[in-house]
Structure 1
């Protein structure tokens, strides 16, 4: 459990602390998938550009305008097939990571909205004053806005 959640003491009950810890974990998971998606997408575009340039220089510029010659050159050079396969695999992995990123974002946003809706029940009486301190810490340390439901 995060140190600032432990330091809250009796101002916040254990269930609320666990909900906040789950929210932090989901935010970190979302940020990780977002970073991996960006990295893979950039890699796939750069690699795809180089493969296309390499294919253009080898097959289109060197062969005549005959499409059959260009296709036979493409099939004879196994490294071209391998490079295209790697490029397609990279773009496929971008799609898979994008779907995981979207799923983790939905889970994160649903839990965040649930905490916002239940905040009146989670912090009752004297604890209501401490709620703002928790919200500020969550915003400052983890960039999690618990004041409003909008993204």
Structure 2
């Protein structure tokens, strides 16, 4: 458990601390998957640029005078199928990682909204209800998690 969450006062019960810890873990998972998706997307775009430059330089420029020669060179090139299928695979990975990041975001947002909805139950007595803003500030400042409003 995070030290900041573990060191919350007695007005935050252990179940609430565990919910906050789960929220932090889901946020980290979402951030990790989002950054991995962006990295794979960057690789895909870079590889696309390389592939189109390869096709332009080694296939199109020497054979641009004839459509038949162009198609023949395109399909006779021994590296072209490898690059083409590698490009498809990388773009397929971007879709997979995007779905994973979206699922992680949905899990994170669902738990965040649940904590916001149950905040009256989690901090029910007078003293803890008045101090819940401290927990919200800690979550916002340390983990960049907004518990004040349901909207992102």
Partner of 1:128 in structure 2?
129
Q: After the TM superposition, which residues 67-78 of structure 1 pair with which residues of structure 2 at under 5 Å, given as runs?
A: 67-78=67-78
Structure-1-length-normalised TM-score: 0.94
User: Per-residue deviation at 1:3?
Assistant: 0.4
Q: After the TM superposition, which residues 71-86 of structure 1 pair with which residues of structure 2 at under 5 Å, given as runs?
A: 71-86=71-86
Structure-2-length-normalised TM-score: 0.93
Partner of 1:29 in structure 2?
29
User: Is the 1:26–1:104 contact (alpha carbons within 8 Å) kept by the matching residues of 2?
Assistant: yes
Partner of 1:20 in structure 2?
20
CA deviations over 1:53-87 (Å, ceiling 9, x no partner): 11011111111443332233223322121111111
Please list every run of 5 or more consecutive structure 1 residues that lacks an aligned counterpart in the other structure.
none
Q: Secondary structure at the match of 1:24?
A: helix
Q: Secondary structure at the match of 1:32?
A: helix
CA deviations over 1:27-73 (Å, ceiling 9, x no partner): 00111111111111111111101110110111111114433322332
Q: Work out the CA distance in 2 between the residues paired with 1:108 and 1:69.
A: 54
Higher mean alpha-carbon deviation, 68-77 vs 81-90, is at 68-77
User: Is the 1:138–1:145 contact (alpha carbons within 8 Å) kept by the matching residues of 2?
Assistant: yes
User: Per-residue deviation at 1:9?
Assistant: 3.9
Give me the CA root mean square deviation.
1.3
Count the aligned residue pairs. Answer: 151
Q: Work out the CA distance in 1 between the residues paired with 2:22 and 2:139.
A: 12
The alpha-carbon distance between structure 1 residues 64 and 135, as it changes in their structure 2 partners (threshold 3 A), is closer
Partner of 2:142 in structure 1?
141
